[in-house]
Amino acid sequence: MGIVMKKLLIYIKDYKKECILGPLFKLLEAGFDLIVPLVTAAIIDHGIAESDSGYIMRYGGVLALLAAVGLLCSATAQYFAAKAAVGFSANLRHALFAHIESLSFSEIDEIGTSTLITRMTSDINQVQAGVNMALRLFLRSPFIVAGSVILAFLMDAQAAIVFVVVVALLMATVFGIMAVSMPLHKKVQGALDRVLGSTRENLTGVRVIRAFHREREEEEEFEQENNFLAYMQQLVGKISALTNPVTYVLINLALVVLLWTGGVRINAGFLSQGKVVAMINYLTQILIELVKFANTIILANKALACASRVESVFEIHSSLGEGLAEQEEKNNFGDEGGRKARGKGFSGTSPSGAGRDVAGEKMRETSGGTASEVLQKTDKDVAGEKSGGQVIFKRAALRYRGASEPSIEGVDFTAEPGQTIGIIGGTGSGKSSLVHLIPRFYDATEGEVLVDGKNVREIPIDVLRKKIGIVMQKPVLFHGTIRENLLWGNEEADEEALKEALILSQSMEFVEKKERGMDTEVAQGGRNLSGGQRQRLSIARALVRRPEILILDDSTSALDYATDARLRQSLKGLSYHPTVFIVSQRTSSLRHADLILALDDGKVVGMGTHGELLETCKLYHEIHYSQFQKEEMKDGK
Amino acid sequence: MGNRQTIKKVLLYIKNYWWLLFFSVFFSAASVICTLYLPILTGYAVDSMADAGRVDFSVLKILLAEMAVMVLLTGISQWIMNVCNNRITYLVVRDIRKDVFHKIQKLPVRYLDSHPVGDIVSRVIADVDQFADGLLMGFTQAFTGILTILGTLFFMIGINVWITLVVVVVTPLSFFVAGFIAKRTHSMFQKQSEVRGEQTGLVDEMVGNQQVVQAYGQEEKVLARFDEINERLKRYSLRATFFSSLTNPATRFVNNLVYAGVGIAGAFFAIQGRLSVGSLSCFLSYANQYTKPFNEISGVITELQNAITCAGRVFALLEEEEEKETAPGDAPEDCTGAVRFAHVCFSYTEDRPLIRDLDLDVRPGQRIAIVGPTGCGKTTIINLMMRFYDVTEGAILIDGRDIREYTREELRGRYGMVLQETWLKDGTVLENILFGREDATREEAVEAAKLSYAHSFIKRLPQGYDTVIQENGENLSQGQRQLLCIARAVLCKPSILILDEATSSIDTRTEIKIQSAFQKLMEGRTSFIVAHRLSTIQNADTILVMRDGKIIEQGDHKTLLSQNGFYAELYQSQFAVE
């Protein structure tokens, strides 16, 4: 158990003081608890025996005083324990969330979103409760047990032997039960995960389920999962439920033994009746504390099972880990001091002008290098010869984890800065996989991908991704206002830049109509917007960052042709000439691209301009005429 | 919802397991009685060993044997009681989860659209779990506690009425203190629950869309938002945890005062000779046993308080208004597929009308295409036909009968639907196709897959039709998933076919092939096709051109083109040379 928690315990570091003070005050309270019987004994032995009512009042007062001091100690202990436990779980949640965010898609695909959510919520809650309990009881109970045993030995060693035996047996029982039930607790949590998964699935698929009126079958399936969970919980419950009765039986059989040996010792004159009574009291105290301890163990057991599940998430590392070389690069690129210096040098040397400032801002954002390099580049930029945005694929291939066939292979082409690259192909031909290699959503399993002459693996990931604006096939917006969503593209974008992006992406027409314009609330997942509106806003978000490389992954599929055409028109006119990748199934979207790649089953089967491909590539020809029947083309022209 | 109502509802759930509850109560009573009898035997045993050389071993032997039996009986009773309690708790929780899930099936789509998935999930999972913990603790400790109190009271009165009185008068303080704390912490637990829900919502949203978060390098900002909620949660949790954990020390303090009181009073009685020393020590140990359960019970009260807050949230969901089923359920089996929209008006929010006075008559077997700019209300029409939402004014009629007079099952059984969103179940490919019609055979499913051009890619999957689709179907491409959705609709052989942007994520080459499958499928069936790709709808009998919730043009492809209106503009734009 120690090993399980070890890695998580670093998150309690900030609360060392609380972790020490909490149990300490708890021990103080326990100490007072051990004194109480002695005071009572004094009252009986002296107060009653000598009929001294003053003595009785004084010692009665001591009892009350002990109670009051005990209350203070214990309240203090509870406060420290609560503070440490709550702070610990807050740290842990923070770290876990940050860790999950760092995972790449291969890992998240593998674990599954719903599992991650249980880890994040109910598992950590359990761990928190466990830590809280542990700080309060894990020291107190053993302390009282040990104290009682020692006091018994001081009275009569021979009669006290049974104390040692019973404590050993109790430990064995408690840990034995724990060892058996621990793996079962894991299974219970697994079953709970599945119940959660079913619930989520049902909620996200509600329209389809209802359309096919499959509610009843869904319920039946849920019931199976649910019943299995209940079954597992009962199984574990049966075993855990042994703890209390077994400890009770053990301790009371010890009492029987104690009474027998006590009898023998009294008969032999080694022990007095009063001392036997005292020992019985201590034995009772041991029982009470051990029952508490056992209950704490059950809770701790649960908490540990949860802890190891949380920990297993930490053990999954992003497959995109940045190597040593990259770290060094990063220091050069992203080092705070360097950045400041660069910023300073810039404002010092260049005469201020709005256009220049924006360009400079961007340069600092997107490219690296020394201050002088930046300045040089900036000058070039102002002159309109921007050089960023070159993308080269060298025999790149991608095979997803666990897949038997590569999704794309042998992709070889060069996209010069400012060019428009079209990618076309059938469903599952690898179009998305190809563009996902550029921002390193996945790493090429063979060959390499270069951006501005550098292998993408050697560019720090945040630097790389800042160059790129990508719009996914499935448009995703987040809870918040439209403005907040757009600012994802570039936090420093001003009102003008946002408006420009909205106009360029053809979103302005509907955003304007909203009562609150850009401050309209977007529901979770953008559910209060139509598919087309979401797509356009996703494009606007990408444009806000004025990327060097713009990737549109089939992201106009929900737009009508007129809007789509206007959008393409406006992308052509972008002042900063990004390299544009358009993934599409419509030849009309691509016909003006500088280079079109036709993909079939992961392989490039045609490469060239629209005109060239119509002549040379059978696939492209076929796709094109499937969309425009020949005679209509004649009509149209 | 008030606590009282919540408790009442919990009791209704427990009622189903009254026999388990009966066992639990019986064995807990048995174990308490044995437990309380044990000190008396112990007392006798101590009395039998008065002094050196005066130990009565024959009496001691019998007493000890009796004790051993008692102890074993107690152990067994305790175990049975625990097992019963476990059973009740987990079965009740299972029933509640089942009902919640059932409820979700009955809630209007409107409700589900407006509530984050994470929030509902957190009620089904975290809240119910917390409730289970509280309930279990309540069962195991509350009843035993009460019995112990009553039992000890009985024995104490037997020894000395006056000292018992001291105990009885002072102890209620303990209840008072516990009640006071519970009241104060209730609102803190509620706050904690709320913030937890908020956090789960954020995690759900962000982890679910990790790609976008990472593509925009928003990890830090998202983390900052998370931290803000986390910080609030920490504050509320600290308050809730600390104040509720004061209950134990506070009640223990009261108990210690009781103990001191008994000690002093007992000592004075002893001085007067009205109480023996042995009886006093016996009294003290009983007083201890009397007050301990108060500790436990007040602990249980806090835990239950928390549990009730959680249960309240769960029951609040169960209380939500369901979709009403008012239809008689006597709709004829046959369906010709005639659909009529009679002056339909609809709006999602009262202040913003979306569809205004839509009037349309569709004859059986007609193909209706709906086109128009995004956001003009195309999908809303589908929502209305499926009764995901109900019309605000007017009516939709199928075969001359208001769709509100069909049961939802009767109504939806008439449709086959393919949506833009390609939701698939956790399960095999085959199971997903069979989702369309469960009584279909494997052969029929394969046939449907062939018809919808899904067969060829399914064949290539590692386990063919038995390949398990991962959560969110991530091992399939968007297009492949859509093909499965189409196969699913093909299998159910509907009278009315609804294709809501069904082919938007499929390449046109495949689409052409599917078109022919659709043609076959549409024969003799009324079809509604929502599309933006105009090439796919040219064969429709009627094309409805929508704009801002109204039909502005209507007619077949040729007529519309010759009208040279909005449709013609849309159509031309796809050939526009930029």
Under 8 Å between Cβ of A574 and A401: no
Torsion angle, CA of A399/A405/A406/A409, rounded to 10 degrees? 160
Contact (CB, 8 A) for A583 and A425: no
Does residue A287 contact residue A248 with C-beta atoms inside 8 Å? Answer: yes
Number of domains in chain A: 3
- pLDDT of residue A537 exceeding 80: yes
**Residues spanned by CATH 1.20.1560.10 within chain B?**
86-319
Q: In a mutagenesis test of the B interface, which of A196, A212, A432, A462 is the best target, namely the one with the most B β-carbons within 10 Å?
A: A212
ipTM value: 0.76
Q: With the CA atoms of B395, A216, A186 and A19 taken in that order, what torsion angle do they form, in degrees rounded to the nearest 10?
A: 30
Q: What is the pTM of this model?
A: 0.64
Are both A287 and A184 inside the same structural domain?
Answer: yes
Is residue A603 domain-shared with residue A502, that is, in the same domain?
yes
CATH 3.30.1330.10 for domain B86-319, yes or no, is: no
Q: How far apart are CA B547 and CA A108, in angstroms?
A: 41
> What is the pLDDT confidence band of residue A374, given thresholds at 50, 70 and 90?
very low
Burial string for B449-465 (b: 16+ CB within 10 Å, else e) reads: bebbbbbebbeebeeeb
In Å, the largest CA–CA distance within chain B is 125
pLDDT tens digit sequence for A101-155: 888 776 776 777 778 888 888 888 888 888 888 888 878 888 888 888 888 888 7
d(CA B373, nearest CA chain A) in Å: 6
Contact list in A for residue B242 (CB cut-off 8 A) is 78-79, 82-83
Boundary (domain end) residue, out of A283, A315, A347: A315
Q: Per-residue confidence at A158, pLDDT binned at 50, 70, 90?
A: confident
Residue B451, both tokens: 């018809």
The burial class, CB within 10 Å (0-12 / 13-18 / 19+), for B564 is exposed
Of A331-340, A572-581, B420-429, the poorest mean pLDDT is in A331-340
Nearest by CB to B375, which of A203, A488, A530?
A530
Q: Which residues contact B19 (CB under 8 A, 6 or more apart)?
A: none
Phi-psi region of A468 (alpha: psi -120 to 50; beta: other; left: phi over 0): beta
A166 and A186 inside one domain: yes
Residue A476 CA to residue A471 CA, distance in Å, equals 9
Q: The domain spanning residue A62 has which CATH number? A: 1.20.1560.10
3-state secondary structure B410-440: HHHCCEEEECCCCCCCCEEHHHHHHCCCCCC
**Domain ends where: A339, A355, A382?**
A382
Same domain, A583 and A626: yes
- Select the residue of B68, B130, B574 nearest A588 (Cβ to Cβ): B574
Rounded-to-integer distance, Cα A101 and Cα A491, Å:
19
Whole-angstrom distance, CA of residue A411 vs CA of residue A432: 13
Three-state SS for A397?
A: strand
Statement: residue A628 has pLDDT above 70: no
Q: Which of A103, A156, A208 should be substituted to probe chain B, the one whose Cβ sees the most B Cβ atoms within 10 Å?
A: A208
DSSP H helices, B107-171, are 109-113, 117-122, 128-159, 161-170
Contact A60 B264 (CB under 8 A): yes
Question: From the CA atom positions of chain A, what is the Rg in Å?
Answer: 36
Tokens representing residue B170 in the block = 């002072």
Q: Is the predicted pLDDT of residue A329 greater than 50, yes or no?
A: no
Q: Provide, as residue numbers in chain B, all residues whose Cβ is less than 8 Å from the Cβ of A565.
A: 573-574, 576, 578
A196 and A302 both lie in a single domain: yes
Q: How many whole angstroms separate alpha carbon B28 and alpha carbon B17?
A: 16
- pLDDT at residue number A386: 46
Chain B residue with CA closest to A68: the answer is B253
Low-confidence ranges of chain B (pLDDT < 50): 576-578
- Tell me the pLDDT tens digit for each residue of B369-397: 888 776 677 788 888 888 888 888 899 99
Do A470 and A614 share a domain, yes or no? yes
Query: Left (φ > 0), alpha (ψ -120 to 50) or beta: where does B343 sit?
Result: left
Q: What are phi and psi of B492, to 5 degrees?
A: -85, 0
The pLDDT assigned to B65 comes to 93
Residues A492 and A362 in one domain: no
Nearest CA among B557, B216, B201 for reference residue B371? B557
| Side-chain half-sphere CA neighbours of A32 within 13 A | 21
Find the CB nearest B412 among A83, A211, A462: A211
- Cβ contact A560–B372 (<8 Å): yes
- A516-523 average pLDDT score: 85
Probe site for chain A from B237, B310, B460 (most A CB atoms < 10 A):
B237
Neighbours of B99 (CB within 10 A): 15
One DSSP character per residue, A414-433 reads: EE-TT-EEEEEESTTSSHHH
**Pairwise CA distance, residues A32 & A16, whole Å:** 25
Distance CA A536, CA A544 (A): 12
Residues A229 and A367 in one domain: no
* Domain limits, CATH 3.40.50.300, in chain B: 339-573
Average pLDDT, stretch A269-281? 74
A66, A157: one domain: yes
Q: Which of B260, B374, B576 has the CB atom closest to A560's CB atom?
A: B374
Nearest to B51 among A63, A273, A472 (CB): A273
In sequence order, the 6+-apart residues with CB closer than 8 A to the CB of B389 are B108, B109, B110, B346, B348, B380, B383
Residues in chain A within 8 Å Cβ distance of B271: 47-48, 51, 53, 56
Alpha helices in B326-405 (DSSP H): 378-385
Strands A420-425, A595-600: parallel, antiparallel or unpaired by DSSP? parallel
Contact B268 A192 (CB under 8 A): no
Nearest to A101 among B76, B114, B223 (CB): B223
Nearest CA in chain A to B270: A48
pLDDT tier at A273, thresholds 50, 70, 90: low
DSSP 3-state assignment of B401? Answer: strand
Using a 10 angstrom Cβ sphere, with 0-12 exposed, 13-18 middle and 19 or more buried, the burial of residue A3 is: exposed
CATH of the domain at A427: 3.40.50.300
Listed residues A336, A356, A382: the one ending a domain: A382
Give residue A333's domain range.
324-382
Asked if the C-beta of A35 comes within 8 angstroms of chain B's C-beta atoms, the answer is: no
A207 to chain B, any CB pair closer than 8 A? The answer is yes
- Domain shared by A223 and A337, yes or no: no
Which of B292, B371, B430 minimizes the C-alpha distance to B551?
Answer: B371
Q: Residue B452: name the closest of B399, B401, B506, B415 by CA.
A: B506
Between strands B367-371 and B355-362, the pairing is unpaired
Selected residues 214-253 of chain A with any CB under 8 Å from a CB in chain B: 214-215, 217-219, 222-223, 226-227, 229-230, 233-234, 237-238, 241-242, 244-246, 248-249, 252-253
Both A345 and A396 in one domain: the answer is no
How would DSSP label each residue in B18-64?
HHHHHHHHHHHHHHHHHHHHHHHHHHHHHHTB-STT-B-HHHHHHHH
Q: What is the CATH number of domain B339-573?
A: 3.40.50.300
Same domain? A284 vs A336:
no
For B246, the token pair is 């004061």
CB pairs under 8 A between A and B: 486
| A563 contacts B471? CB cut-off 8 A | no
